[in-house]
Amino acid sequence: MNAPWKGPDATGLEWLSSDPAVGAAFAADPLTTDRPLLHLFGPLGAAHLFGRPGRGLRAGRGADLAVLIMVGREDTVGGAASAHRLARAYRERSGFDDVTTLVYPGARHEVFNEVQQADVRADLLAWLDARFALPA
């Protein structure tokens, strides 16, 4: 995950955020683990993380569910291409109409802990306000 940022000064956590403090905080967190997904969740649980959304999720739910996918363009875990595939699956497999994908240039995996986090948070609030605004 850290290949694009290899170098003598690399910590191995640059994939998280372009803000070095985020990687340092991650490394210092006693709840952080480097155990593989298979060890953490077991084979079935890990497989669910890589699966696609279910077919016909919208059916029988009445109102459409809104989905927001926010991703950093430099995210080596999935990135923009993976986010667009997920959005397409929500539309085509699950039947959702309201699927929004926001891709942040220069951002990595943790978009809410990026240097442009104020923009990310403002976009989230605007998306929520557009769908769930309180009556005047």
Tell me if 116 sits within 8 A of 18, measured CB to CB.
no
Tell me if 107 sits within 8 A of 11, measured CB to CB.
no
* Domains of the chain, each with CATH number or no CATH: 3-132 (3.40.50.1820)
> pLDDT tens string for the chain (136 positions)?
899 999 999 999 999 999 999 999 999 999 998 888 788 888 888 777 777 787 877 766 545 688 999 999 999 988 999 999 999 999 998 888 899 999 999 999 999 999 999 999 999 999 999 988 777 7
What are the DSSP calls for 4-40, one per residue?
GG-STT--S-TTT-SSHHHHHHHHH-TT-----HHHH
Q: How far does Cα 21 stand from its chain's mean position?
A: 20
* pTM of this structure: 0.86
Token reading at 37? 């997904």
Element at 101 (helix H, strand E): strand 99-104
